[in-house]
Structure 1
Amino acid sequence: MAKTADKAAPSPAPHDDMEPKGGLFGFFLMVIGMFMAILDIQVVASSLPQIQAGISASADEITWVQTAYLVAEVVMIPLSGWLARVMSSRWLFAASSAGFTIMSLACAMAWDTSSMLVFRAMQGFLGGAMIPTVFASIYKLLPPEKRIMGTVVTGLTASVAPALGPTLGGYLTDMFSWHWLFLANVGPGILITILVPIIVDFDRPNWRLVYKIDFIGILLVAGFLGALEFVLDEGARNDWFESRMIVGFSILSAVSGILLIWRETSIEHPVIELRTFGNRNFTIGCILSFVLGMCLIGQTYMLPQFLSHVRGYSSLQVGEVMAVTGTVMFIGAPIAGKIGHTVDPRKILLVGFAIVSCGLYLNSHMTTEVGFDQLVLPQATRGFGLVLNLVTITAVALGTLPRHLVNMGSSLFNVFRNMGGAVGLALINTQWDGRYDRHYWWIVEKMSDTNQLFVSQMQNMTRYFAQFPTIGGTAQEAAFRQLTLQIQQQASIMAWNDVFLLLAAIFILIMPLTFLLAKPRAAVSGGH
């Protein structure tokens, strides 16, 4: 296969080694665009009831407001590498920003469920190209001494944006209306669309590739990744393979994936250059990025769920807890950069994965009394480990690629991270459901007349509720209902602890992969 891929590989785009223009200011403009694209995945999460009422959607239909965006975005990301070669990175980014902005305005003006879902899908598809283009710009726009900083900024943005989304979305909806979840993108989107093509320029277009476009490859990418994202996102809600729909989409994804590999290794101008995986560090870096994506997306889902449903935290309180990880990552960025210039990246990754695993393990001992003070250490530990890994994995994967493969490599690298997040969420939901049922029935089995603790608690609760004769039913029935709620809460906490422990184990198990990385000629600073 590698031999075929090498033979089929197109020559790099002409004039690709031009002097980059734009510097840090241009880079940060692009990062803002990427931030908006990632933020909009989760910004609707806390406002779905309001959107549902506004567009008269059913409970099943409203979940598609998130799913449509995710599926469309994951299809665009791998295509952006080819599009960057055709249009140039700056014009692709400007077009992506413009499309994202227009569709944001359209979402705010949606009049029913169908229009909202179409606009959300288009918003995700058109905005999806901004994410990998920013990662590629680290190695094509920034000078070598600034690449560690660029990697930290993009990694921090990619991890903070999903965590900030529900909190910011809830605030905008409470203060104004759900329409502002989308209208907030319009002003920054217009500025970015205008300024980026004026300020940034680091590669040239190759419009001749348009005449050799691989339409079949594009359709296969959509079938493979779009169907896979749908299965991972909707599987838990539809009992996985008990659902004919999930089985059908799984078959579509598998068949499309096999045909995609065959197609892209047998034509002269593939839409996805699989020869990029001929670089061992890139391939292993993508696998490590997949696992890191599980933690990045998983932690932004698990802890808010626990804090809001078990501890009853408000959106603002959840945001304060989640901010600890982002703050530590920001403070630890200069340390990660300094270490990255001098230490073997394989050693950094080993330490980083161990630290992340430790942070996850610390979260596996939560109780009903856990609060901000008890969560600071696990969050801070995980944050420092994440920033070490984000910097190093990105540099290892993309920094060793030839310049003309960086755009394609960035696209594939981001696909792995996004799919890691999708697999992580599916794994988390499935494991939580199973562990919750197991713990719930284990506790219930212990509740019998021979259990003195149970008998004593029931008697105390019954005496307490006997003081309130207006309560529906008898005092004993009220006591039993209250005890059932406590059992459900305890089972939920135990299930979350088990999931955190599972993720900690996964990070330990992935550590041996770092030994397969090629020995670096120098410390990682990124880029050839």
Structure 2
Amino acid sequence: MAEQQISTGPVSAASPTQRPLLAVAAVLLGSFLTGFDTRFLSIGLPDLRGAFGLGFDEGAWLATITTSAQLIAAPAVAWLATAFGIRLVMIPACLIYAVTSQTIPFVRDVETLYVLHFIHGLMLGAFIPATLMIIFRHLPPKWWLPALAVYVFRSPFSLNFGVSLVGFYTQVVGWHALYGQHVALSLLMAALVWFGAARDPINRQLVRNADWAGMLFLGIGTAMIYAGLDQGNRLNWLESGTVMSLLAGGTVLMILFFINEAVVAEPWAHYSVLASHNVALGIAIILIYAVTSLSNSLLTPNFLINVAQLRPEQVGDLLLPYLVLPLIVAMFVGVWFLRHYDARILIAIGFTAFGLAAWLGTGLTQLWRGENFIPLALLQAVGHAFTFLGVLIFIISNADPKRATAFGAYVQVVRLDGIEIGTSLMATWVRVREQLHSNLLGQYVGAGDSDTVQALHQLTGGFARGSSAEVATARGVATLASRVTREANVLAYIDAFEVAFAAAVVGLLLVAMLRPAPIGPLSPKR
């Protein structure tokens, strides 16, 4: 009796187009736009809270709602583009995104602001997932590697250059420009798609057999899990009913998704597309990359902003010349390397660079400023370029390109939820370790202790001129307490760099377990 073949999703077939480079430029521009949008909502959030008149809690939900909406749409975009054509998916998304970006700066009602940011994120979710699909469907194989390198480059570039850009907009141009650039770029994207993408007919057979339940289960489930993770650190995890409800509800929907894919006649993204030793390990390596790369995307800028008290544009003075520009060179080197050598070697070099950067970070002190992070930034540029590019090429080399639609759904989940898992856990780790170190340091700053009395005497003396004795004493005590908090934060960031170092070591162990990829268009020259 013949074994029943499991459908792993619709076949992604190529369509002819006379201007393929315009279509590729459009989706690559969209992937850059997504990265910048994510960065400005994190780095520029204090300025946005002031501009919109939001409280701390209201502002915190702004970024959560936007990215959660991305996750609802992102897994299904490759399928939608296969069924309806890239033009019918991307052009409306670009236009709606432009309209919401133009409208948001003029809104002051919190509920309306949330709705517009939800729509904003939903449209944003269409941009990155279409990128891989367009590259493979519209470009000849010899251009796949450079195009994928640009796709990989946009993530660390937008994260790090975005810091400088947010600082420039908020300090020089005005915060409205944070949304204004989205209007111009999304309209440019729509034009590029209009002139460059193929005019695909609607696949009515695919639409009739659509697995709508699977798409909704995966999209809403991952969005709920993301929202729970994003708010978990702020709302103290198990102590919050909101967080627990989001995580529990999302988990239930994910279970229903896998059950649905197992029993439905035409599954949209059957989990068998991941049933490969190399692909499964590759997904795990991406998750580890998300953790170890936090030494750059989270720890370095957060230390400089929260402890060193620098503005985003000042942090950008470090990241732009010492990470963004070296990243460009590292990408060219990575492409050349992959044309001649095994991707596993490139991944190992990348994790080694991240490990060295994290190890240097364990020598952190409260005196560190931008120039002290230069060696870390240079190593992190190599880590970003080599690790992500290498693992993406390796996974694609081991996956069936005809099943890119199904595989793309899982890639988007790992991309967004994987990064959020790492970010949330690392932020919680820093907070908990700061509390622990603050408590331990506080035990050595007891009332009546000779060293404490001497320190307070020196601090109080500095505030005595022009102030009453009571005011000078209060300011002296507050200054001493702030110094204890500062040192506790420094120790917490050191602990976080140790976690990033451990993640790099785990990544190297996983790389050692990878098997050679099959020969294909992305294989190195023999």
Normalized against structure 2, the TM-score is what?
A: 0.91
Aligned to 1:199, which of 179, 183, 196? 196
TM-superposition CA deviations, 1:306-348 (whole Å, max 9, x none): 1112112122111122222222221111211121122222222
- What amino acid does structure 1 have at the position aligned with 2:288? V
* Residue number among 257, 271, 276 corresponding to 2:273 in the alignment: 276
User: Which of the numbers 40, 61, 77 marks the counterpart of 1:80?
Assistant: 77
Which whole-Å CA distance do the structure 2 matches of 1:368 and 1:422 have between them?
A: 28
Kept in 2: contact 1:102–1:186 (CA 8 A): yes
Q: Aligned ranges for residues 47-446 of structure 1 at < 5 Å? A: 47-201=44-198, 205-296=202-293, 299-323=296-320, 324-446=322-444
**Which position in structure 2 is the counterpart of 1:30?**
27
Which residue identity does 2:425 align to in structure 1? L
Which stretches in structure 1 are left out of the alignment for 5+ residues? none
CA positional deviation for 1:195:
2.0
- Corresponding residue of 2:517: 520
Q: Matches of 1:29 and 1:222 in 2, distance apart?
A: 24
Classify 1:134/1:10 alpha carbon distance in 2 versus 1 (closer, same or farther; 3 Å).
closer
**1:42 equivalent in structure 2:** 39
AA aligned opposite 1:353? F
Q: Kindly tell me: are residues 507 and 377 of structure 1, through their superposed partners in 2, closer, same or farther at Cα, counting changes over 3 Å?
A: same
In the TM superposition, residue 296 of structure 1 has moved relative to its aligned partner by 4.3
Closer/same/farther in 2, CA of residues 524 and 341 from structure 1, 3 Å limit: farther
**Offset, 1:92:** 2.6
* Secondary structure in 2 matching 1:473: helix
Residues 403-457 of structure 1: CA distance to partner in whole angstroms, max 9, x if unpaired?
3222432342232122121011111111111110111121121224797654543
Give the whole-Å Cα distance in 2 for the aligned partners of 1:203 and 1:22. Answer: 14
Looking at structure 1, the residues matched to 129 and 49 of structure 2 have their Cα atoms a distance apart, in angstroms, of 32
SS in 2 for 1:446: coil
Report if aligned partners of 1:298, 1:424 keep a CA contact under 8 Å in 2.
Answer: no
Question: Offset at 1:146?
Answer: 2.6
Deviations 1:98-154 (CA, angstroms, capped at 9, x unpaired):
232222223234341111111111111112121021133333333333322222211
In terms of mean alpha carbon deviation, does 252-261 or 441-450 score higher?
A: 441-450
Cα separation, partners in 2 of 1:523 and 1:501, compared to 1, 3 Å: farther
1:461 aligned partner: 459
Distance 1:222 1:256, change over 3 A: same
Range moving further from structure 2, 235-244 or 161-170:
161-170
Q: Is the 8 A contact 1:298 1:428 kept in 2?
A: no
Give yes or no for contact 2:303–2:493 (8 Å, CA) kept in 1. Answer: yes
Q: Structure 1 length as normaliser, TM-score?
A: 0.91
In 1, the alpha carbon distance for the partners of 2:36 and 2:335 equals: 25
Provide the secondary structure at the position in 2 that maps to 1:130: coil
Higher mean C-alpha displacement, 153-162 vs 297-306: 297-306
Label 1:514 to 1:328 Cα distance change in 2 as closer, same or farther (>3 A).
same
1:229 Cα deviation after fit = 0.5
The CA RMSD measured in Å over matched residues stands at 2.6
- Is the CA contact (8 Å cut-off) linking 1:84 and 1:205 kept in structure 2? no
Specify the code of the residue in structure 1 equivalent to 2:388.
Answer: L
Task: Tell me the distance in 1 between the aligned counterparts of 2:49 and 2:453.
Answer: 45
Deviations 1:202-228 (A, max 9, x none): 976523322222232233123310110
Name the amino acid aligned to 1:179.
H
Q: Secondary structure at the match of 2:6?
A: helix
Bigger drift between 333-342 and 141-150 goes to 141-150
Hey, what does 2:11 align to over in structure 1?
Answer: 12
The aligned amino acid for 2:177 is W
Cα deviation, residue 471, structure 1 = 5.0
Q: SS where residue 394 of structure 1 aligns?
A: helix
Whether the 8 Å CA contact 1:20–1:203 is kept in 2: the answer is: no
Aligned 8 A contact 2:237 2:243 in 1: yes
Q: For 1:428-507, what aligned pairs fall within 5 Å after superposition?
A: 428-448=426-446, 453-466=451-464, 468-470=465-467, 473=470, 475-507=472-504
Which amino acid in structure 2 is aligned with residue 439 of structure 1?
A: H
Give SS of 1:101's match: helix
Aligned length: 521
Q: Check 1:175–1:374 CA distance in 2 against 1; reply closer, same or farther (3 A cut).
A: closer
Structure 2: gaps spanning 5 or more residues = none
Q: 2:128 aligns to what SS in structure 1? A: helix
CA distance in 2, matches of 1:171, 1:311: 19
Greater CA deviation, 269-278 or 222-231?
269-278
Distance 1:22 1:414 in 2: 27
The more displaced of 391-400 and 517-526 is 517-526
Distance in 1, Cα, partners of 2:184 & 2:460 = 59
Aligned-partner Cα distance in 2 for 1:372–1:411? 39
Q: Say whether the 8 Å CA contact 2:167–2:311 is kept in structure 1.
A: no
Distance 2:103 2:249 in 1: 31
| Structure-1 separation of matches of 2:276 and 2:138 | 22
- Relative to structure 1, is the Cα distance of residues 100 and 524 closer, same or farther in structure 2, using a 3 angstrom cutoff? same
Q: Take 1:106 and 1:399, find their aligned partners in 2: how far apart are those partners?
A: 43
SS at match of 1:368: coil
Larger mean CA deviation between 283-292 and 200-209 belongs to 200-209
